[in-house]
Structure 1
Amino acid sequence: MVGAVIVLPRLPDGSCEFMITEQGRTVECLVDDVFCRFTAETKTAKSVLPPSPTSPSRNGQAEFVFPESTSVKESTALNMTTLQAPHTGTIKIIEMNRPKAKNAISLQMLRQLHDEVERIHGENTTGGTRVLILASALDDVFCAGADLKQRSVMSDAQVEEFLALLRETTCKLAQLPTPTIAAVAGAALGGGLELALCCHLRVFSSTAVVGLPETKLGIIPGAGGTYRLPRIVGISHARDVILTGRRVEAQEAFAMGLCNRLVSHDSSGTERGRALQAAIELATDICGGAPLAVRAATGALSLASPAGEEAAYASLLHTTDRLEGLSSFGEKRAAVFVGE
């Protein structure tokens, strides 16, 4: 039995959440008009990226077959852009782009994100991705969580496969040796917030609204929310957010340490554009450091142990960039790092 879709109260931005139930008595809870408004097609947002020193690279069309052998064609769920980083390498921007579904995480999107994260893991340390930014191509939402409309036609085995891939992808994202930044504007709920929690740093617009509402859906966060959130904001704040399932607005999120930068509201551009620009500026600042040192520091922070710090420090002692750092300091000039 497929069950029913329950539409929960609307968010301030006009979107809403869903839950799937296999209880036949809940069929009357389906609110078709709200569901249709939520999934109605919206215009794809215009790019808010600044001019790049290099030509942006975009991935092409991808064909995806839904469960139950229903074949549909969906435009690419992720937009990829690269910007030249200081010294060497690039800043990579991944923008989620599923306007019909408010960037809900479909199997296609998840596979694309998994493959891209895997590719970054395999890059060399010199000329590859220096910082990864995860953002949205939509003005009103970062990510609405899992695609429950797609989930409703999955078998139990397919749901298990999806969850396994989701957990593998979020773990690989969290374990990247490259610094990662989430640029959040609008709603980031459930799996959407869990994606942001996988990143090392988070930049919120003033319109950001985040939450882990799973307890109100009869489940719990399933992609790292119960252990990544307390690591970031502390166990007390994490209990509050997860046990109540409430939504947290940007100012409160900043106060509890959930975001590292809060972009104030002004009349120039869009909230999404300002958040992404702030993330790019943060990434550029990070890339001003020596590439190997930034990677080593990222790894040491993830391990958070004396042994991890000692190993990371030792790996830099005989590098060209360490000698350049000492020379530039003594000569009172800007360092020129080469990632070696």
Structure 2
Amino acid sequence: MEYKNIYIEEERNLGTITIDRPKKLNALNKATIEELHVAFKELDADKNIKAIIITGNGEKAFVAGADISEFAHFSEKEGGVLAAKGQELLFDFIAHLSTPVIAAVNGFALGGGLELAMACHFRVASSNAKMGLPEVSLGVIPGYGGTQRLPQLVGKGRAMEMIMTAGMISAEQALDYGLVNYVVEPEDLMPLCTKLASKISNNSPVAIAHAINAINAGYSFNTNGYAAEIEAFGACFGTNDFKEGTTAFLEKRKANFPGS
């Protein structure tokens, strides 16, 4: 696929996706969501890629929101389809991806941008980041998982306040809330994300994929998270990664995981 709104860089075991719409503050439109879906799918299928970083071009914005001009005229039915399709193609897709995804939040992460960051497995923010879900100021609510993932990350009360006031919080507040794992200066954002991705890549990709599924199960209303963990734990014993990991430990050497 020829990408017009994003670009991908691959180095060693790391894939980096950059949303490249700086004139629109990297706002998400339909085409960008579709391109991101394809990019994540391709990187996830590449066995050499052990971790993925997603960021926005420039220091002004990670993603400043959805492209409002695309849906301002939509009917009720069209609005519902927009949310359902977006969640299927991108937000839920990322959340359940077997390859770990780190959001490098540089600048504004608003509306769909914050929802995109929250769909990732964890987040690192630059000190100039601003985050919020301002949808109610437009007469709508978050539709890409924001009303569900924000309470899971920051708690119900803080999520209610953020959504109902439509306000923004600083990077330091986001760190205090547990919305991001780290806050660093802008020039240190990608180096830290790369360092974290490198640490991830040293571990078993099969075990990590099972861990992602088990953790997600704990936040699902129709799945028993403990049962999912037990099943995933047992499944690990049948993998070559388990054999290599335990053998390397007993032989006091570094594991070389085959990823199977």
Asked if TM exceeds 0.5, the reply is yes
Aligned match of 1:78: 6
Change (3 A) 1:94 1:260: same
Letter in 2 for 1:288: N
| SS of equivalent residue, structure 1 residue 142 | strand
Alignment of 1:93-108 (within 5 A): 93-108=16-31
Q: Which runs of 5+ in 2 are unaligned?
A: 219-224
Contact 1:110 1:165 in 2 (8 A): no
- 1:229 and 2:137 correspond: no
Match of 2:127 among 199, 206, 217: 206
Spell out, residue by residue over 1:149-186, the C-alpha distance to the aligned partner (whole angstroms, 9 max, x if none).
Answer: 3434x554765554332222211121212211100010
Aligned match of 1:302: 216
Aligned match of 2:169: 248
TM-score between both structures, scaled by the size of structure 1: 0.69
Say how many residue pairs are matched: 252
Contact 2:96 2:212 in 1 (8 A): no
Report deviation, 1:109.
0.6
Alignment of 1:75-224 (within 5 A): 76-85=4-13, 91-120=14-43, 123=45, 127-152=47-72, 156=75, 161-168=81-88, 169-224=90-145
Q: CA separation in 1, counterparts of 2:150 and 2:212?
A: 18
Report deviation, 1:242.
1.0
Aligned match of 2:238: 318
Q: CA separation in 2, counterparts of 1:161 and 1:298?
A: 27
Q: CA separation in 2, counterparts of 1:217 and 1:155?
A: 13
- 1:288 and 2:193 correspond: no
Spell out, residue by residue over 1:51-80, the C-alpha distance to the aligned partner (whole angstroms, 9 max, x if none).
Answer: xxxxxxxx645xxxxxxxxxxxxxx10111
Moved more, 112-121 or 277-286: 112-121
Report deviation, 1:302.
1.1
| SS of equivalent residue, structure 2 residue 59 | coil
Spell out, residue by residue over 1:253-296, the C-alpha distance to the aligned partner (whole angstroms, 9 max, x if none).
Answer: 00110001211x3xxxxx1x421221111111111111211111
Q: CA separation in 2, counterparts of 1:109 and 1:317?
A: 39
> Between Structure 1 and Structure 2, which shows a larger proportion of helix residues?
2
Contact 2:53 2:103 in 1 (8 A): yes
- CA RMSD of superposed structures (Å): 1.9
Contact 1:83 1:92 in 2 (8 A): yes
Change (3 A) 1:323 1:164: closer
Match of 1:327 among 236, 247, 250: 247
Q: CA separation in 2, counterparts of 1:98 and 1:316?
A: 41
Q: Which runs of 5+ in 1 are unaligned?
A: 1-58, 62-75, 86-90, 266-270
Aligned match of 1:12: none
